[in-house]
Amino acid sequence: MAALVGTVALATFLPARGGGEAVARTASDIGVVLLFFLYGVRLSTRETLAGLRRVRLHALILLCTFVLFPLLGLAALWLAPGLLGGQLGAGFLFLCVVPSTVQSSVALTSTARGDIAAAICAGTYSSVIGLVATPLLAAWLIGSETSLSADGALRIGAQLLAPFLAGQLLRRRWGEFVSRNKRVFGPVDRGSILLVVYVAFSAGVNQGVWSRVTPLRLLELLAVLAVLLAVALTCTRTAARFAGLDRPSRIAVVLCGSQKSLANGLPMAAVLFGGQAALAVLPLMLYHQMQLMVCAVLAARWSRAAPAGPPPETASAHSAAIVGRCR
């Protein structure tokens, strides 16, 4: 969180311009390619396929991520057209079609004594499906605000999908090496995301983005995002109860179904929105910080209320090994 705020501040006062902007954008593109390649290398295909047995649970999370959220986004735009207009509204809709997270969902589910294996597989399925579903839903819902033309689709394929598939193909050869050197490759993830943020906000500052987002409008956006998160948490919890899932599974549904991935969303936004990405990624960045803070409080509360005894069987050493491979 501190690094994101610092990166936005750096772009505000020292934005990349001229030749520096071209260099930063090229470095950002390379970082995104490497990021998704590492995603592919880390992802355990065998464990992911094994998780398909939990059809009801994973279908519920995917419906929340790619159906419930877009519907809530459209409803918000209809109820608050004055606030969510133009590129900010496009960014709000984009937030609603971004896939769920893996790392924070797993960490929060573990804290809450929920079904860890379900959280790992749910985040993985969401991320993989989102490589295709997010751009298509964004083009359908946002339309002209995005640049998803044939060229944009090729860029998404070249920058996101192709490196991911290459990582999967090379997993047997590289997977163990990457897992052993997390301290080396971990900064690549964060550095790539921060570089995307810096490039996006540099372009926005050069175009006068902060003159279009007043402090009052920022507070209004935060209020809308808080309502979105509250409704998402309520709907996921209610749906999990109606589905008859046990307590650990319900926790996984709530904490995975309400999350949105900054790591996947920012690179996609850079491709879809191009030079207009600064305003478009603002709702996602704010929602991401909000979801972490609120869900951390919920996870701690559910952990204290959990029945006495050992953690669920899904939190065994076997699941811990999956965490190491899938992150």
User: Using one digit for the tens of pLDDT, what is the confidence trace for 65-113?
Assistant: 999 999 999 999 888 877 777 778 888 999 999 999 877 787 888 888 8
Number of domains into which the chain is organized: 1
43 CB-near residues (< 8 Å, 6+ apart): 124, 128, 167, 168, 171, 325, 326
CATH no. for residue 153?
1.20.1530.20
Does this model's pTM top 0.85? My answer is: no
Residue 315: the pLDDT is 39
> Residue 149 pLDDT more than 60?
no
Q: Which domain holds residue 231?
A: 2-326
Which tens digits make up the pLDDT trace of 217-248? 889 889 999 999 999 999 999 999 998 898 99
Residue 327: the pLDDT is 39
* Tokens 């001229």 -> residue: 18
Do 1 and 289 meet the contact criterion of CB atoms below 8 Å apart? yes
| Cα–Cα dist 139/133, whole Å | 10
Residue 66: the pLDDT is 94
| Cα–Cα dist 68/258, whole Å | 10
Phi and psi at 259, nearest 5°, equal: -90, 155
Do 271 and 151 meet the contact criterion of CB atoms below 8 Å apart? no
Structure-model confidence comparison of residues 178 and 209, the more confident one: 178
Helix ranges (H only) for 1-85 are: 2-13, 19-42, 45-50, 55-63, 69-79
Which tens digits make up the pLDDT trace of 267-287? 788 777 766 677 778 888 889
Do 97 and 137 meet the contact criterion of CB atoms below 8 Å apart? yes
Do 129 and 261 meet the contact criterion of CB atoms below 8 Å apart? no
